[in-house]
């Protein structure tokens, strides 16, 4: 199988995150591999391993689009066990919205499928920065592929996949022919940690760098120029401040109700 | 006036509050038409007229629910073309966002998710980076597709009710070709509590509950609230994953959020810090949740919550 996993280098949510510059783009210093993408990578590694791993010709390609630092997300993926890495990077990509991002990634996937077709594209359920979850569906639409989002289990048998999805009011099983785009939730597996062997092995793996000209995308179709939405203002919310803190002296439950009544919340 | 298309998916016997919010918002932006999927019951038709819908569109195919989103997006694209819509409004559910995503590509239209308000010129307001910024964004395209969060618009019937005509829209025959098919769907048992994402009040529990959600559930029921949980609690299997509030779970924005036995790590805060009022109960005075709580109680939730529950019942008589 040839599986492409989309991995994103996102600002670490443990720190304050900021928007800056003309297009109010996310400041990407202090960035890490998006936690939610580790589940997609783990799912890909398990599918490949169940089929005899890389020795049997299974490929797990970690693909990241982003500025120079984004290569770190690819490196971490290689340490976890991806067989190769691809870094799509170009100054013109900066400020791409979901539509422009999906256009560039779709072109990169077509490029990577030129020699041997891609069977599966795996992603996390959302990025932990933009959090729109638009890209997997837009990618599927652009590639003309079925999409299965929020998969909490995934099996592939022959040319078909079966997945389970859990919504608030129902749980469903879906089927789709391959190739397909699948996003997975954090319920699907427990991602592995890179071990020493993995870290050493990663140093010998190839990371291919692709620019827009490599994948045949006109710079005007991506970045701020090619985006279909524009952020016109961004204001940092004042941080919440602590209010009244009390220590329970046996009547805190009553005081809580007094507070709710005073706020007209009862 | 601009044409606005509102998508309403399987309303059943009556429209939900979030549907009415979309219709009200739509009317503020222009002439509204409704693209409906599923049965059109008389009660729904009457409400659509009350809310001023100029037209009701229905799909030519009846099997859209048998597939994941792709045919619904194809239907909506056809409906948008039929009505000449400049704005398409959908709900902000995961499915609503996905339909919007595919629709955006089909219509070459900018998509903005998590919208809380829309200005007359189409500028949409939302909050990003876990509530730390408020942004305004606008589609640069002829058509814009917006998914709107519930509870941000007050539903109001139109001053002038309409008499909408019903139009059948042809769903492209190839729209199911590249779509995942649903082979089994099981309804979950309804809890009887409000839906977490739309609830006015949320009571959430975490590690401090030590496996016993009873006090949280009882307080929630006394308040008519939804029950939420931290990731630690859902990972421990104490409550369904659906209840998880936080960066990898649901984002809630209720009037009141009561956090019990949750330390308030940044991932938790990410899911709830846009709540209007935050109350926290935790034994550990150092818990970060106290930094953002409007009212914090350092104490044992197993004492505080039941006492509050009893007091609420007593006052409500």
Q: Residues of A154-169 as b/e, b for ≥16 C-beta within 10 angstroms?
A: bebeeeebbbbbbebe
Given the DSSP bridges, would you call strands B133-139 and B201-205 parallel, antiparallel or unpaired? unpaired
* Other C-beta atoms lying within 10 Å of the C-beta of residue B206: 30
Residues of chain B with Cβ-Cβ distance to A128 below 8 Å are: 247-248
Q: What is the pLDDT of residue B247?
A: 76
What is the rounded average pLDDT of the residues B227-232?
Answer: 94
Query: Tokens 């330390």, residue?
Result: B263
Instruction: Provide the token pair at A247.
Output: 């220590």
Determine which of A191-205, B109-123, B144-158, B235-249 has the lowest per-residue pLDDT on average.
Answer: B235-249
What is the rounded average pLDDT of the residues B110-118?
Answer: 96
Provide the β-strand partners of residue B32. Answer: B4
Q: What is the pLDDT of residue B244?
A: 92
Instruction: Provide the token pair at A34.
Output: 């998006």
Most confident region among B21-35, B149-163, B232-246 by mean pLDDT: B21-35
**Cβ contact B19:B8 at 8 Å:** yes
pLDDT at B265 over 90: no
Calpha distance B301→B217 (Å, rounded): 12
Residue of chain B minimizing CA distance to A129: B129
What is the rounded average pLDDT of the residues B51-62?
Answer: 96
Mark which residues 278-317 of B lie under 8 Å from A by CB: 278-279, 281, 285, 290-300, 303-312, 315-316
Tell me if B312 and A102 make a contact (CB, 8 A cut-off). no
Tell me if B68 and A174 make a contact (CB, 8 A cut-off). yes
Q: What is the pLDDT of residue A185?
A: 92
Q: Cα B194 from chain centroid? A: 12
For an interface test with A, the pick among B73, B76, B101 (most A C-beta atoms closer than 10 Å) comes out as B101
How far is the CA of A181 from the CAs of A37, A44, A151, in angstroms?
Answer: 14, 12, 11
Provide the β-strand partners of residue A33. Answer: A9
Tell me if A17 and B127 make a contact (CB, 8 A cut-off). no
pTM, two decimals, is 0.91
Residues of chain A with Cβ-Cβ distance to B309 below 8 Å are: 253
* Distance (Å) from the alpha carbon of B297 to chain A's nearest alpha carbon: 5
Instruction: Provide the token pair at B249.
Output: 């779970």
Ranges of chain A whose pLDDT falls below 50: none
Report helix, strand or coil for A90. coil
How far is the CA of B309 from the CAs of A25, B127, B230, B289, B316, in angstroms?
Answer: 45, 33, 21, 22, 11
Report helix, strand or coil for B35. strand
Which one-letter DSSP state was computed for residue A194?
A: P
- B299 confidence band (pLDDT: 50, 70, 90): very high
pLDDT at B264 over 80: yes
DSSP A47-86: HHHHTTTGGGT-EEEEEEESSGGGHHHHHHHHHHT-SEEE
Q: What is the pLDDT of residue B123?
A: 97
Query: Tokens 């694209």, residue?
Result: B77
**Cβ contact A249:A34 at 8 Å:** no
For an interface test with A, the pick among B73, B133, B280 (most A C-beta atoms closer than 10 Å) comes out as B133
Q: Does B1 touch chain A (CB under 8 A)?
A: no
Considering chain B, what is the average pLDDT of its residues?
94
Q: How large is the ipTM?
A: 0.91
What is the rounded average pLDDT of the residues B61-74?
Answer: 94
Q: Residues of B80-107 as b/e, b for ≥16 C-beta within 10 angstroms?
A: bebbebbbbbbbbbbbbbbbbbbbbbbb
Task: Give the DSSP H/E element, type plus range, for residue A244.
Answer: strand A244-247
Calpha distance A126→A143 (Å, rounded): 19
Provide the β-strand partners of residue B146. Answer: B89, B112
Calpha distance B23→B20 (Å, rounded): 5
**Cβ contact A32:A12 at 8 Å:** yes
Calpha distance B48→B84 (Å, rounded): 19
Query: Tokens 């009011």, residue?
Result: A169
**What are B144-162's pLDDT values in tens digits?**
999 999 888 999 999 999 9
Report helix, strand or coil for A215. helix
Which one-letter DSSP state was computed for residue A181?
A: E
**Cβ contact B89:B146 at 8 Å:** yes
């Amino acid at each position: 199988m040839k599986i492409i996993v989309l991995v994103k280098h996102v600002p670490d949510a443990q720190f304050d995150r900021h928007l800056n510059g003309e297009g109010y783009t996310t400041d990407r210093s202090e960035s890490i591999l998006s936690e939610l993408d580790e589940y997609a990578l783990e799912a890909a590694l398990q599918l490949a391993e169940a089929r005899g791993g890389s020795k049997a010709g299974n490929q797990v390609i970690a693909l990241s689009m982003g500025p120079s630092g984004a290569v770190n997300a690819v490196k971490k993926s290689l340490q976890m066990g991806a067989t190769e890495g691809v870094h799509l990077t170009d100054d013109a990509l900066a400020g791409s919205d979901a539509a422009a991002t999906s256009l560039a990634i779709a072109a990169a996937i077509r490029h990577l499928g030129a020699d041997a077709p891609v069977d599966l594209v795996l992603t996390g359920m959302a990025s932990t920065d933009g959090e729109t979850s638009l890209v997997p569906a837009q990618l599927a639409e652009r590639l003309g592929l079925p999409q299965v989002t929020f998969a909490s289990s995934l099996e592939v048998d022959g040319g078909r996949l079966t997945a389970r999805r859990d919504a608030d009011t129902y749980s469903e099983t879906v089927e789709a022919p391959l190739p397909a785009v699948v996003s997975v939730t954090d319920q699907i597996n427990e991602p592995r940690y890179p071990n020493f062997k993995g870290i050493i092995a990663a140093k010998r793996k190839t990371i291919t760098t692709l620019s827009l000209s490599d994948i045949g995308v006109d710079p005007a179709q991506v970045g701020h120029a090619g985006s279909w939405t524009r952020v016109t203002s961004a204001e940092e919310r004042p941080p919440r401040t602590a209010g009244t803190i009390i220590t329970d002296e046996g009547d805190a439950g009553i005081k809580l109700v007094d507070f709710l009544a005073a706020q007209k919340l009862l | 006036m601009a044409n606005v298309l509102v998508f309403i998916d399987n309303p059943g016997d009556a429209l939900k509050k979030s549907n009415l919010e979309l219709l009200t918002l739509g009317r503020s932006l222009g002439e509204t038409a409704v693209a409906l999927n599923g049965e059109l019951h008389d009660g729904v038709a009457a409400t659509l007229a009350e809310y001023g819908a100029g037209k009701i569109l229905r799909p030519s195919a009846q099997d859209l629910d048998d597939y994941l989103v792709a045919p619904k997006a194809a239907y909506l694209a056809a409906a948008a073309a039929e009505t000449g819509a400049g704005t398409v409004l959908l709900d902000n559910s995961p499915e609503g966002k996905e339909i919007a995503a595919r629709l955006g590509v089909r219509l070459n239209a900018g998509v903005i998710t998590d919208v809380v308000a829309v200005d007359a010129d189409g500028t949409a307001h939302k909050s990003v980076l876990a509530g730390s910024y408020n942004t305004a964004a606008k589609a640069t395209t002829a058509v814009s597709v917006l998914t709107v969060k519930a509870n941000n618009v007050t539903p109001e019937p139109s001053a002038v009710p309409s008499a909408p005509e019903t139009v059948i829209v042809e769903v492209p025959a190839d729209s199911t070709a590249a779509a995942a098919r649903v082979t089994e769907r099981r309804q979950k048992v309804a809890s009887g509590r409000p839906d977490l994402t739309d609830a006015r009040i949320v009571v959430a529990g975490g590690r401090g509950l030590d496996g016993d959600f009873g006090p949280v559930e009882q307080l929630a029921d006394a308040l008519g609230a939804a029950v939420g949980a931290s990731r630690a609690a859902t990972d421990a299997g104490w409550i369904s994953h659906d209840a998880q509030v936080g960066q990898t779970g649901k984002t809630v924005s209720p009037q009141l959020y009561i956090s019990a036995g949750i330390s308030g790590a940044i991932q938790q805060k990410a899911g709830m810090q846009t709540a209007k009022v935050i109350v926290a109960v935790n034994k550990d005075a150092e818990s970060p949740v106290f930094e953002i709580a409007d009212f914090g109680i350092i104490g044992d939730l197993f004492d505080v919550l039941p006492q509050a529950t009893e007091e609420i019942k007593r006052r409500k008589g």
